[in-house]
Structure 1
Amino acid sequence: MTSTSPNFRDRFLAQERLFGTFLKIPASMPAEILGSLGFDFVVVDEEHSPFNRETTDLIVLACRAVGIGAVVRVQSPDPAGILSVLDCGADGILVPHVTDADTARAIVAAARYRRGKRGFAPTTRAGTFGADNTTTHITKQDARVTVIAMIEDPEAIENIDEILAVEGLDGVFIGRGDLSVAYEDYDGSTGVVAKATARVQAAAKAKGKTVAILPGGPEDAAARAADGASAFILSSDQGFLRAAAKGAHVSISAAVNAALKGQSDV
C-alpha cells in the first residue's frame, strides 16, 4: 500500500477483505495509530461526530502519511458536502439514507467529473495542488473515488435492486442500526432486519456489487462474509478507547484492591 492509498477503490471493487473503523474523534492520531496496526481504511464520521472541513482535511492527510484508505461518511447526499471531502483528497464517500435509484445517481454524479457534476478544482490536494493537467486530474479522480451508499431505510430495502443497478455506484453499506430503529426490531427478535440484510446481500451478489457492514462480533462477521460481505467496519476509535480503558481500569483496580486487602488481612 502506498502512502496515498490510490488502490483503495480497486481493492474495494475487487471485493478484497478489508477491515476498517469509524473515526469519531476530531484528531489525526487515531488514523495514524490504526494505519500502523494494519487497518485498511477508516471512515471519518461527519454525520454523527463534531468534524469540520479542517479536521477532515487533517485526517485525510494523516491517512495518506500512513497508507490507510480515507473514506468520509458525509452528513447527507448534498453535493456540496461530497465535493468538500473529495477536494481534501478522500478515497471515497459513504452517503447516508440513499433510499432510491435517483438519490444513488445523484451521489454518483456529485463524485464524478465525466458524465457527472463534480465541481472542477485541480488546485486542491486531490488535484496535487495544480501539478496535474486537467485531463490527468479528471482521469485520476474518476478512477480512485469510491462511492458507497448506506442502505438503512425500509424504502431502500424495497428499492435495492434499482439502487444497485445504478452505474458508478461501487457498493453499499448495510446500516443495521438504523434499520433496527425503523423496523422497531431493537433486539433482533422479529427477524426483519436479518431478512433485510439477507435481501441486500443477495441482491448485491447478483449485481456484483461490494457489501460493507459493521459486524456485531466474530460470529456475525463470519456469517456476513459467507453471504458475500467483504468490507468490515470494526467499531470506532471511541469504541476501542472505551473498551481498552474499561479493561485496564477493571484489571488494574482489581489487582490493587486484592493486594491492599491482602495487606490488611495480615
Structure 2
Amino acid sequence: MTAARADRRSLKARLAAGERLYGALLRLPSETLVEMAGVAGLDYVVIDCEHGPADMAALQHHLTAAAAQGIDVLVRVGTSEPALALRCLDLGAVGIIHPHVDSARDARRAVASVHHPPLGTRGFATYSRAGRFGTVSAADHLAASRDTLVVVMVETERACAATGEIAATQGVDAVLVGPADLAADCLFPGQGVIDGLVAEVHRATREAGRAVMTIVPGAEGARAAERAGAQLVLHNMAHVLMDTFRSLAGPGAAEDSGRPS
C-alpha cells in the first residue's frame, strides 16, 4: 500500500457503501493524463493493457504518477494469465479488469489470479512496490490485498446468458460489458439488439448485488449511465480527446484534410 493511499478508503469499500465513482480509461501512454485525472478529482483511472501498450516499466511510471496525486489505478489486462495480474498488483494497481469472461468458471479463475489464499492463488511478496519494498508487515500487506477490486467483462452472447452466475461468483465486484466485442460476437445485429443485451446484463448484475461499470464517450453519456444505475462510470479518454481535437479543428476540417470524418 502506498503512502498516498494509507489513510483513504479503498474503491472496494466505497462501492460497498453505495458511492458512484468516476474514472478515465487511458489507452495512450501518458503519465501526464494520469496526473491530470487526479488533479481534476476523478476517483480512478484504468490503464488499458489489452488495447493499449502493455509495457510493465511504463505501467510503473503511470502508477507512480497516480500515487503522487492520490488516485487509484485499475489495469485491464489482455490475457487471463495469472502472472500478469500479479505483476500489475505488485506494482501498486488496486484492481484488475478481466476481458472475455464467458462463464462462472472463467470468473473463478479471474478472482483466483488476484487474491491470495484461501480465496485465490496469487503469490505473496511484501518486497514489491505495493508492499512498500518490504516496509509493510505481512499481516498489513495481506489485509490491504483483500481490497483488490475484480471487474469481469461480458463480451459474448454466451456470457450475457451466464451473467447471473458470473456476477454471483464470490470475489467478483463489478461487471463491465464490452459492447464492441459483443456486437462482433453477435455479427453486428444492430444497436437495438445490443442495447437490449446490455440492459439484461446490467439487470442480472444488480440482482446479484454487484456494481455495474459502464464506459461512456463523454459528459452526456455519463449522465445516461447515472440514470441507468451505473456505479462505476468510466470515461473513454480516446473518444473525449478526439472529439475535443475535432471541435478545435473547426467545421469541415476533417473533410478538407482528406481524413475520414
* TM-score interval for Structure 1 and Structure 2 normalised by the shorter chain: 0.7 to 0.9
1:106 to 103, 109, 117: 109
TM-score normalised per structure 2: 0.88
Matched, 1:136 2:137: no
Matched, 1:120 2:124: yes
How many residue pairs end up in the alignment?
247
Matched, 1:249 2:249: yes
Distance apart, 1:13 and its partner CA:
3.2
Does structure 1 retain, via aligned residues, the 8 Å contact 2:74–2:96?
yes
1:56-105, CA deviations, whole angstroms, 9 ceiling, x for partnerless residues? Answer: 11111111111112000011221011011000010111110011111111
Separation in 2 of the partners of 1:33 and 1:221? 19
**Aligned AA for 1:110?**
S
Distance apart, 1:3 and its partner CA:
2.8
After superposition, the Cα gap between the structure-2 partners of 1:145 and 1:163, relative to the gap in structure 1 and judged at 3 Å, is same
Distance apart, 1:181 and its partner CA:
1.7
In structure 2, what is the equivalent of residue 16 of structure 1?
A: 19
RMSD of aligned residue pairs (Cα, Å):
2.0
Matched, 1:183 2:186: yes
Separation in 1 of the partners of 2:169 and 2:126? 27
1:15-39, CA deviations, whole angstroms, 9 ceiling, x for partnerless residues? Answer: 4211112111223111001111121
After superposition, the Cα gap between the structure-2 partners of 1:16 and 1:52, relative to the gap in structure 1 and judged at 3 Å, is same
In structure 2, what is the equivalent of residue 41 of structure 1?
A: 44
Where does the alignment leave 5 or more consecutive residues of structure 1 unmatched?
254-266
Matched, 1:70 2:73: yes
SS at 2:216 equivalent: coil
Separation in 2 of the partners of 1:242 and 1:217? 11
**Aligned AA for 2:193?**
V
1:168 to 166, 171, 183: 171
SS at 2:233 equivalent: strand
Matched, 1:26 2:29: yes
Q: Identity over the aligned pairs, expressed in percent?
A: 32
SS at 2:122 equivalent: coil
Structure with larger Rg: 1
